C-alpha cells in the first residue's frame, strides 16, 4: 500500500510538471498541404497587412494549386502562423479563419510592426541585462507593451511571481524598458521599468515616436508610397504529379467499380 502511494505521488508530480510544457505546444493548422509538408514549414506567428496588386491578395488552396479560396483587401490584417518556400523560391504563408484555410504569397504581405521589428531596428541600443520588476509592483496592475512607444498594450495584474526581463532599452526620454520573454501567457513584450503602471497618454502626452514606415499599395498614384507590391500577380504552379496521381486513383476506382458490377451482373 505504501509503495502504491509513493508511485501515485510520483505520477502526480510528473503530471503537474508536464502541464506548463503542454500549454506551450505550438498549435498546428488543419490543412492538407501543411500536413504533408510540415517538416518544410517555418514557424512565424506574426501579424501581416495585405498589400497586393489590384488592391487584393488572393488566397489559394495550396502553393501547388491555383484554386482560389478567398481574397483579402489591401489594408486588412491577418496572422500568419507558418510559411513554406516552394521549389521556385516563392515564400507562401498559410491563411486561417474560422472555417477555411489557404495559402498566400508573402511578397504581398507587410509585417505589422511588432517586438521583433523593434529589436531589428534598435539592436545597437538594446543591452543584455537580466533583472526582475521591483517588488513595489507586486499584486499591482501594470502595462505590458508590444514594444517601447507602441500604442498597443495589455493591462495585467502581477502576482507573487513578478515579470523578469533579459534586455534593456532606453527610450527618447531616457526611460528604461525591459524585454520580457514570457509572463502569464504573454510572450516577447516590453515593460517600462521606471513606470510600469503608466498608460500611453502618461508616457507619451505628445505622442510616441514613429516606428513603422511600411506603406500600403492602394493602386492610386502617390509618390509618398515607398513600398509597392509587384505588378505581376504570383499564382501557384499546378503540381502535375499530384494531378496525375489523383486522376489515376479516380480511374482505378472507376475501373474497379465497373469490374465489380460486371461480376455481380454475370452471377445473376
Domain extents in the chain? 27-112+212-245, 115-203
Give mean pLDDT in consecutive 10-residue pieces for the chain, a chain of 268 residues: 42 38 66 96 96 96 96 97 96 93 97 96 97 96 96 95 97 96 95 97 90 60 41 82 57 72 72
pLDDT for 6 equals 37
Fold for domain 27-112+212-245?
Answer: SH3 type barrels. (2.30.30)
Tell the residue number behind the cell numbers 452471377, with chain if given: 267
pLDDT for 94 equals 98
pLDDT for 30 equals 92
* pTM value > 0.75: no
Whether residue 145 contacts residue 192, with contact meaning beta carbons closer than 8 Å, is answered with: yes
Amino acid at each position: 500500500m505504501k509503495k502504491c502511494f509513493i508511485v501515485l505521488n510520483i505520477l502526480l508530480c510528473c503530471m503537474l510538471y508536464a502541464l506548463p510544457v503542454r500549454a506551450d505546444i505550438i498549435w498546428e493548422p488543419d490543412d492538407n498541404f501543411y500536413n504533408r509538408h510540415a517538416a518544410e514549414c517555418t514557424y512565424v506567428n506574426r501579424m501581416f497587412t495585405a498589400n497586393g496588386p489590384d488592391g487584393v491578395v488572393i488566397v489559394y488552396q495550396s502553393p501547388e494549386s491555383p484554386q482560389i479560396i478567398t481574397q483579402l483587401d489591401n489594408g486588412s490584417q491577418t496572422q500568419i502562423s507558418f510559411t513554406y518556400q516552394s521549389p521556385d523560391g516563392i515564400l507562401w504563408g498559410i491563411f486561417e479563419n474560422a472555417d477555411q484555410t489557404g495559402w498566400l504569397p508573402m511578397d504581398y504581405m507587410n509585417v505589422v510592426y511588432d517586438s521583433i521589428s523593434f529589436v531589428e531596428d534598435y539592436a545597437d541600443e538594446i543591452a543584455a541585462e537580466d533583472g526582475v520588476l521591483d517588488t513595489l509592483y507586486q499584486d499591482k496592475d501594470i502595462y505590458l507593451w508590444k514594444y517601447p512607444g507602441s500604442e498597443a498594450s495589455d493591462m495585467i495584474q502581477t502576482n507573487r511571481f513578478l515579470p523578469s526581463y533579459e534586455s534593456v532599452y532606453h527610450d527618447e526620454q531616457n526611460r528604461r524598458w525591459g524585454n520580457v520573454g514570457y509572463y502569464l501567457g504573454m510572450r516577447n513584450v516590453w515593460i517600462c521599468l521606471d513606470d510600469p503602471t503608466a498608460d500611453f497618454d502618461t508616457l507619451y502626452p505628445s505622442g510616441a515616436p514613429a516606428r513603422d514606415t511600411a506603406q500600403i499599395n492602394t493602386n492610386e498614384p502617390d509618390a509618398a508610397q515607398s513600398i509597392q507590391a509587384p505588378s505581376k500577380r504570383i499564382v501557384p504552379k499546378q503540381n502535375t504529379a499530384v494531378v496525375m496521381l489523383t486522376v489515376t486513383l479516380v480511374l482505378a476506382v472507376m475501373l474497379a467499380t465497373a469490374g465489380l458490377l460486371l461480376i455481380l451482373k454475370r452471377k445473376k
